Amino acid sequence: MSPARRAKTTPLELYFYGNRDRLIHKWLHYFDIYDRHFAPFRGKPVTVVEFGVSNGGSLQMWKKYFGRRARIIGVDINPACAAFTEPRIEIVIGDQEDRTFLRALRKRVGPIDVVIEDGGHTMAQQINTFEVLWPAVRDGGVFLLEDLHTSYWEHYGGGYKRPGTFIEYAKDLIDQINAWHSHGPEEFAVDKYTRSIKGMHVYDSIIAFDKGKVDRPKHKRRGTRTLPVNPT
């Protein structure tokens, strides 16, 4: 059954297909992923930051989805996007590749519950935004980056297994999540990401990171041994 004909199962899909307001442009398989990670924040006093305002339609979608207690902030390099300011939607103009701007944004906005990175899609934009904004995400928050297929597109600085793409960067973060099990700092050491990435969910074109305090893993045994210890 085609995506257009199958039942619309999430509030975001229902909003999208019924939208007659500002333009929204999304890959259709994103909606289930959004709802899976964002549903716990609905109806709560949350701060949501989306990079990439475009025509402002997705900001209106988030405003409806997260509810009346949500603060929605859109970030874009295009000054014309400032026109999309409305009650409970703020617009900040700046270059997400510029770490100085990102640090100022972090200070201005304060703690963030949800980051949706849908900006310019270049490797430097994605990596800089993640590295500068990750410390601002609250424990329990989510940092979702989308359109990561640009990691494979030369126009955006990508290429299959090309060093410096966000996909290759994310593969290194998998190592960091597991750094507790390194045999020594000469291999790879526990760092701030090891201690703060509680989960990393990889989908077609999307990676969602769960933020939270992570302690050194522990293991225990319970029960009675029935087999002899393996001599090897």
Output the six-digit token pair for 22: 């500002």
37 CB-near residues (< 8 Å, 6+ apart): 142, 144, 201, 208
Active site residue 181: no
101 CB-near residues (< 8 Å, 6+ apart): 94, 95
Alpha carbon 145 to chain centroid, angstroms: 4
For the chain, the C-alpha Rg in angstroms (whole number) is: 20
Q: Give the type of residue at 123.
A: M
225 CB-near residues (< 8 Å, 6+ apart): none
175 CB-near residues (< 8 Å, 6+ apart): 188
Q: Tell me which of 25, 121, 183, 201 is the catalytic residue.
A: 121
Coil vs helix vs strand at 92:
strand
Buried b (16+ CB within 10 A) or exposed e, 191-212: eebbbbbeeeeeeebbbbbbbe
99 CB-near residues (< 8 Å, 6+ apart): 128, 131, 132
Active site amino acids: 121
